[in-house]
Amino acid sequence: MQINHLELDAIIFDLGGVILNIDYQLTISAFEKLGFKNFNAQYSKMQQSGLFDNLEKGLITEKEFVSEIKKEIDSASHDDIVTAWNALILDFPPIRLELLQELKKEVNLFLLSNTNEIHLQAFNQILKEEFEQDSLLQNFDKLYLSHEINARKPDAEAFEIILKENDLSADRVLFIDDSPQHIEAAQKLGIHTIHIEGDKTIEDLFAAFLA
């Protein structure tokens, strides 16, 4: 898809794997080291069990999440579990935050992320320590975080909330994500999409804005 051929009112970005570097295997390995057998059967990039859905939809608290995990690995402390859960979070490449700042001058930018209160604290800490930013909001017009809007991708509701609140027509919106199931859900609503996969990055897509 040629981005410059689209007439856009907004771009919706995913976070993990698009702006923030992550590695699901690090969290899977961390929990297995704590004694949680077959953790990858319950949590991965493509799918997850109800416990993780509930955390990402804001239906349970950090304390409740940790309590449920401890049923599988009772010897692990609260901090052990939080550390393992955050293991997947790597870094924000500075060039991507720079890109967002440039794009924001031209078009409305929104973030739609399946995340949770534990990960939010972790990546906000990275932003503060490395970029002196209190929140990702400095790079977007508005953040739509699953645990705050009580909806997560690929549910149509997650996208519809953004379209309705900002009076956007789906055919004038571009959605960028690294998960095929999320891309498919957006396409069904008539939203333009770009799937970030392989070695593709958003800095490659928007190279002209960084020239």
| pLDDT on residue 211 | 64
Tokens of 192: 């333009």
Tokens of 194: 């770009």
Residues 125-135: pLDDT tens digits? Answer: 999 999 999 99
Cα atoms in the 13 Å half-sphere on the side-chain side of 97: 17
Residues 70-129: pLDDT tens digits? Answer: 999 999 999 999 999 999 999 999 999 999 999 999 999 999 999 999 999 999 999 999
Tokens of 84: 């393992």
Residues 2-41: pLDDT tens digits? Answer: 455 578 999 999 999 999 999 999 999 999 999 998 887 7
Per DSSP, 9 falls in state S
> In whole angstroms, how large is the CA radius of gyration of the chain?
17
